[in-house]
Every structure is written in structure tokens, then in C-alpha cells.
Amino acid sequence: MSFTPTLVYAESTPNPATMKFVANRLIIEPLKTVEYLNTDEATGSPLALDLFKGGYVKSLFFKSNFVTITKSDAVEWAPIVSAVREFLQDYFTKGLPVIDVYPEKTETENELTGNIDVSSENPEDKIINLLDEYIRPAVEQDGGAITFRSFENGIVTVALQGSCSGCPSSKVTLKSGIENLLKRMVPEVKEVVAQDE
């Protein structure tokens, strides 16, 4: 039985504790994002369980063709990054299952869809469109994800996942980048805050 080789490369992220491992093909269903913060949450993912067994993983974030790994404080990336890349490359090349059962989303999770009418007068629709079109691609490039949670009393609440979760520069990005853009484009916005997961 022959397998099509999958190439994997590692990218650093703004968060020094995380590394983004990118494959040259999809590794999970398109438009899905999955985050595992511990082994108990990862029961539906054979790959996540294998990675947690290594003892260096604090959390995992899967999106289309990449997995972002946040390491524990007990290890440094330099001695393990090549081994992790090779492990993932071998795993994907063999066609082993990444996620068997996707976690169910809670009712409060609103995925950014890109299907919002730009001309809408509804501030929430404008916010979701701006996050989807301008913010999400940049956040994904850095190995993370942003999810709209709510807009109430001028406050936009978002959830940050992957490399953005716990990143030292995420507060600056949230305030000087995301908040400034939304305030400028949607006058009803007074503040943007990250939901504590």
C-alpha cells in the first residue's frame, strides 16, 4: 500500500510558547476549528491524544491545514521542533485519523461566516464581517483563531484560540489593532475584550 507523502513545515508564531505546523494538504474538515486544552477534551482525536502523550504539549489547536501546539513550560522548542515536525509528517503521510469525533459547539459560539451583508445597518453584522474579512486571515496566519461571541452595550467580546491564547502580544493586538479598526468602521463599538476561556 502506497501513501502520498505529506510535507509539514514549522512556523514560529508571535507567542513564544507556540509553534504552527503546516501541512501541504487539509488535515481536518474545511471551515472547522478545534482546540484541545487537555487530554480529557481530546478523546475524539487520535492525533491529539498521541501528541499529549509526549509530555510537552499544553494545548492544541487544529484548523484546515495546520496544528498549533502550545508547549509546556518544562521544555524549549529548539530540541523538539524537528522531531514533532517529522512525527506529524509521518502521521499525515500514513493517512492516520486526525479527528474521529468533532466536539459539539456551544450555543454561544458564533463562527465567522463571511456571509454577512456589508450594507447591513446592524452593527453586529458589520462587526462579524470586519472580523471575518480583515482580522481572521491575519490571526490564522499566526496559528490562531478569533471567534465573535457577543456585542452588548458597545462592547465586542471575542474568543482567541491557538497561538493567540496566552500570547504576550495578544492584548496589544486586541486593543491597538482589532479595537481601533472596529471603532473606526463601526461607531457603535466602544471597546473590544477577549473572553476568558
pLDDT, average across residues 90-109: 79
**Region class of 5: left (phi > 0), else alpha (psi between -120 and 50), else beta:** beta
Cβ-contact 124, 149 below 8 angstroms? no
The whole-number pLDDT of residue 87 equals 96
Cβ contacts of residue 85 below 8 Å, gap of 6+? 8, 9, 10, 21
End-to-end CA distance of the chain: 43
Give 179's DSSP letter: I
pLDDT band at 120 (very low <50, low <70, confident <90, very high): low
Are 66 and 22 a contacting pair, CB within 8 Å?
yes
Over 90: is that where the pLDDT of 117 sits?
A: no
Output phi, psi for 10, to 5 deg: -105, 140
Lowest mean pLDDT among 36-40, 58-62, 118-122, 160-164: 118-122
Q: Is the pLDDT of residue 182 over 90?
A: no
* Across 8-27, average pLDDT: 91
Yes or no: say if 30 and 64 are a contact pair by the CB < 8 Å rule.
Answer: yes
Q: What is the share, in percent, of the chain residues with pLDDT greater than 70? A: 87
Distances (CA, A) of 33 to 41, 68, 92, 150: 14, 11, 18, 19
pTM of the model: 0.69
Task: Tell whether the model's pLDDT for residue 129 goes beyond 80.
Answer: yes
b or e along 5-21 (b: 16 or more beta carbons within 10 Å of the residue's beta carbon)?
Answer: ebebeeeebbbebbbbb
Q: Helix (H, G, I), strand (E, B), or coil: what is residue 62?
A: strand
Per-residue pLDDT band at 131 (split at 50, 70, 90): confident
Say if CB 146 and CB 160 are below 8 A apart.
Answer: yes
Q: Check residue 50 and give its pLDDT.
A: 95
C-alpha 24/C-alpha 69 separation (Å) is 17
Confidence of residue 118 (pLDDT cuts 50, 70, 90): very low
Domains of the chain: 8-93 (3.30.1370.70), 123-194 (3.30.300.130)
Q: Which of 25-29, 94-98, 117-121 has the lowest mean pLDDT?
A: 117-121
